[in-house]
Amino acid sequence: MTRSRSKPTRRAVLQGATAFSASMLASPRLRAAERSDVTIIGAGFAGLNAAILLADEGLSVTVLEANNRVGGRAFTADHIYGTPELGASQIGPYYARIRDMVHRLGVEISQGSNINAPFTFAIGDTLIRKEDWEGHDLNKTVGAERAVLPSAMQGFYMGKYNPFKGFDDWLEPDAARFDIPLAEWLIEKGISEEGMRIVNAGLVAPDAWNVSLLTLFQEATRGRLMTGAGDTQGKDRFEQYALASAHVVGGTSRLPEAMARHLGDAVLLNKIVTSIDMSDSGADILCLDGTRHQSDFVISAIPFGPLRRVSITPSLGGEQAAAVRHMPYATNTQVHMRLKGEPFWEQDGMDASLWSDGPLNIVRQPFGYDGSRDRLVAVGTGKKGERLDQLPPKERGEFVVSEIERLRPSTKGKIEVTGVHSWPQYNFVSGCRHSYGPGQVTRFAHDMIKPHHRLHFAGEHTRRLEIGMESAMESGERAAFEILERTA
């Protein structure tokens, strides 16, 4: 163990991060040695943050990243027209760790993120303006639901009945009673049949029977705190979140890239970890290219999907093993498009983004940060995403364009596919994010993050507080502190 400094408190580290000065960028480069104090698997935000915190404390670290780039689900597509974000973009107001890191490394952020043109709603083949929705014949919802836009239906019920006030209420023992299917609870709250159909049409999870209400309450609580709205009744959460967030100037990938640069040659790319062997004397990590890395401790900062393919000795047991094996991951498949010719939304007089109850979930028109409006992104989630992913990439793009043209003839001949991306099909991630099924928060959330021999766990799926990038940072911090406790 090469560490010399005394163990810091969590708070001291966070304060230290806030008080970062440019001189820290010049911290000693960490050597990628055959043996280091800690091997970190995965160079997403979780792994990189753990590595930086451990290195700050004088430990030697090696970060093994399977891909040829760092960032994981932070992925600015520099190769696609308009450099869209394929993954994370919105930096929430409570993202203390992300914001600290931004300041520390001199990365620029700017207010507002992922702001889209307003939505038109497609029920079957009929397009409906948002202002016509409440009184429209095809609005088959009932009572107070009628005034709620389809994209806000889930948020309407969540905002109205969510009992949580803080980020971590979802992990309190008493909260376990909400670890039930979303659908069961919505029925109890009186949702109409059409309301349920609309919720299912836009879900990230496969359907409302297969997602835990508890985890959605966590997200809704976060949304409520984030927007300061008090409740989210009938409001468009896309717009609220976008306005309350910030973005990294030049693309989200610039932040993990800066973190990796800070770590120097401690970060190794194209290192697909295939096995972790632990003994009394240390851990031996084997990569697909035959290289071996030894260390006292290991942090797995990779999603459970790829972790299933890593052999671990001694093997995981009990609920931890079951969590790794069974935790479901949500679908997110995207088709990116460029627009040509006259603005189609001016021709048909409808708002440019589209919510659909058909085979597409949403087709967003992102506003460029320079004000441009020449792109569309179709996003398929849940079962719709799974169906889109059954098509080969080229056909998937063609299908999406034909569906948009069918619904909005004013787009005919004006759309060119510039790129497709599927998170379930993307190597080494295998899904957009983990999504607790009913009963799984109670069953897995506490046990699955416990250290196993010399192996510690990080990654957004092990979050306690925030979601998204901040949850990954938070989890990396927890894993780093677990190791610092053991080495004190």
Ligand X SMILES: Cc1cc2nc3c(=O)[nH]c(=O)nc-3n(C[C@H](O)[C@H](O)[C@H](O)COP(=O)(O)OP(=O)(O)OC[C@H]3O[C@@H](n4cnc5c(N)ncnc54)[C@H](O)[C@@H]3O)c2cc1C
Candidate segments 140-148, 179-187, 299-307, 355-363, binder of ligand X by CB under 6 A? 299-307
- Under the binding rule (CB under 6 A), the answer on residue 205 touching ligand X is no
Work out whether 397 is an interface residue with ligand X (CB under 6 A): no
Using an 8 Å Cβ cutoff, are 185 and 416 in contact? no
Cβ 129 to ligand X shortest distance, Å: 27
Q: Are 396 and 420 in contact (CB under 8 A)?
A: yes
Contacting ligand X within 158-177 (CB under 6 A): none
Between 97 and 414, CB nearer to ligand X: 97
Instruction: Tell me how far apart the alpha carbons of residues 407 and 427 are, in angstroms, rounded to a whole number.
Output: 33
Stretch that binds ligand X, among 123-131, 317-325, 423-431, 442-450 (CB under 6 A): 423-431
Binding mask 438-477 for ligand X (x = CB under 6 A): ---------------------xx-------xxxxx-----
Rule CB under 6 A: is residue 306 a binding residue for ligand X? yes
| Tokens read off for 269 | 């790319």
Question: Toward ligand X, which CB reaches closer, 414 or 478?
Answer: 478
Among 123, 429, 479, 484, binds ligand X (CB under 6 A): 429
Applying CB under 6 A, which part among 63-71, 122-130, 204-212, 262-270 lies near ligand X?
63-71
Q: Rg (Cα) of the chain, in Å, rounded?
A: 23
Return the range that interacts with ligand X (CB under 6 A); candidates 7-15, 36-44, 122-130, 404-412: 36-44
Please give the C-alpha separations between residue 395 and each of 275, 336, 338, 354, 409, in angstroms, as whole numbers: 37, 13, 17, 21, 20
Residue 248 interacts with ligand X (CB under 6 A): yes or no = no
- Shortest spacing between CB 472 and ligand X, in angstroms: 3
Angle, vertex CA 66, rays to CA 65 and CA 67, nearest 5: 95
**Residue carrying the six token digits 């799926």:** 461
d(CA 97, CA 48): 12
Binding residues for ligand X, total number by CB under 6 A? 39
CB 17 within 8 A of CB 52: no
DSSP for 170-183 reads GGSGGGGGG-SBHH
- 225, 167 Cβ separation under 8 angstroms: yes
Ramachandran quadrant class, 217 (left: phi over 0; alpha: psi -120 to 50; beta: rest): alpha
Q: Is 432 in the site for ligand X (CB under 6 A)?
A: yes
90 belongs to the binding site for ligand X (CB under 6 A):
yes
Among 74, 127, 183, 388, which residue interacts with ligand X (rule: CB under 6 A)?
74
Q: Is 303 in the site for ligand X (CB under 6 A)?
A: yes
Does residue 423 touch ligand X according to CB under 6 A?
A: yes
Instruction: Map the footprint of ligand X across residues 330-359, applying CB under 6 A.
Output: 332
User: Please, are residues 430 and 35 in contact by the beta-carbon 8 Å criterion?
Assistant: no
Smallest distance, Å, CB 210 to ligand X? 19
Residue 198 or 379: which CB sits closer to ligand X? 379
274 within 8 A of 290, measured Cβ to Cβ: no
Q: Choose one: 14-22, 45-53, 213-221, 440-448; the region binding ligand X (CB under 6 A).
A: 45-53
**DSSP-assigned states of every residue in 32-87:** --SEEEEEEE--SHHHHHHHHHHHHTT--EEEE-SSSSS-TT--B-TTSTT--BSS
How far apart CA 234 and CA 152 sit, in angstroms, is 6
Can residue 81 be called a binding residue for ligand X (CB under 6 A)?
no
- For 81, the token pair is 């027209």
**Smallest distance, ligand X to C-beta of residue 136, A:** 31
Query: Residues in the site for ligand X, rule: CB under 6 A?
Result: 41-47, 64-67, 72-74, 87-90, 271-273, 301-303, 306, 310, 332, 423, 428-429, 432-433, 459-460, 468-472
